[in-house]
Structure formats: C-alpha cells, structure tokens
C-alpha cells in the first residue's frame, strides 16, 4: 500500500527540497532566475510525503492582480521517482479539484522543454499555451478557468 500524506510543510522541508530537487525543477528555477528558498518565500507550502519522506512542496498562491485567481505551483524532490504514477495522479487530481472549487482561475508557467510536466498539467485539466513566454521565453503559460 502506498502511503502518501499531505500536511503543512515543516521548516526543514525547504532545505530538504533544495538538496534533493529534481533535475527538471532545478532547471526550471534556474531559467526563472530564482532559488528554492525564493520560490517558497512568503507562501504557506503544503508537503506531500511518501511514508514520511518529502516528495514535493506545493500550493496555490492567490494571484496578486486578479481577484478569485491563484497561481498553482509544485517543486519535487527525487523521491518523486519512487511514487507510482497512478498514486501521484490520484492525489494531484484531488488537490486540483479542491483548488478549482475555491478559485475561478488558475494560471502559471511550465518550462517548455519539460514534456512530462506539460503532459501532467494537461491531464489535470489545464490548457497549456504554445507561445514561449516568461523569463528568457523558456516557458509556456498554462491555465484553467471555471465555466461561468
């Protein structure tokens, strides 16, 4: 049985993430010009754990320029490689469903070379653009809107 749990992040989790970040997430942060510490500053991250070991930090930060909107984000440790895809998909779908119930619009960017992340956010119901944007034009925007 897969033991995935979600809880508030602990103070030591940011350092753990920085030490064991996945290659693609490290490249994405580098392309954006930010560090793990910078990406997680001023947010209240949640932690996903596999049998107590940190898999990722994530959250949805209220959008500073759009009422009712949020910026979903996730940064993973290499422990992600040991999480079965179906288990990760199931927990992620529940989290996104919760966000979709609380917000009317979700948007962020994903590194355009990270095909796996792009497929994953599409599977979660986001629309991924095909026009390069963001720092260095290295990203694609993705979004979800509640049908009104």
Measured distance CA(109)–CA(69) in Å, rounded: 14
Question: 4 forms bridges with which residues in the sheet?
Answer: 50
Q: Show the tokens assigned to 135.
A: 């720092």
Range of 60's domain? 4-145
CATH of residue 12's domain is 3.40.630.30
Q: What predicted TM-score, i.e. pTM, was given to this entire model?
A: 0.93
The count of structural domains within the chain is 1
pLDDT tens readout for residues 28-56: 999 999 999 999 988 999 999 999 999 99
């Amino acid at each position: 049985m897969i033991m995935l749990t979600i809880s508030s992040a602990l103070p030591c989790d940011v350092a753990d993430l920085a030490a064991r970040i996945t290659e693609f997430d490290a490249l994405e942060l580098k392309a954006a010009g930010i560090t793990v510490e910078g990406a997680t500053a001023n947010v209240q991250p949640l932690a996903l754990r596999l049998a107590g070991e940190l898999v990722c930090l994530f959250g949805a930060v209220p959008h500073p320029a759009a009422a009712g909107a949020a910026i979903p984000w996730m940064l993973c440790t290499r422990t992600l490689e040991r999480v079965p895809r179906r288990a990760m998909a199931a927990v992620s779908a529940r989290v996104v469903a919760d966000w979709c119930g609380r917000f009317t619009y979700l948007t962020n960017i994903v590194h355009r070379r990270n095909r796996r992340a792009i497929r994953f956010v599409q599977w979660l119901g986001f629309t991924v653009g095909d026009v390069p944007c963001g720092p260095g034009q290295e990203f694609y925007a993705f979004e979800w809107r509640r049908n009104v």
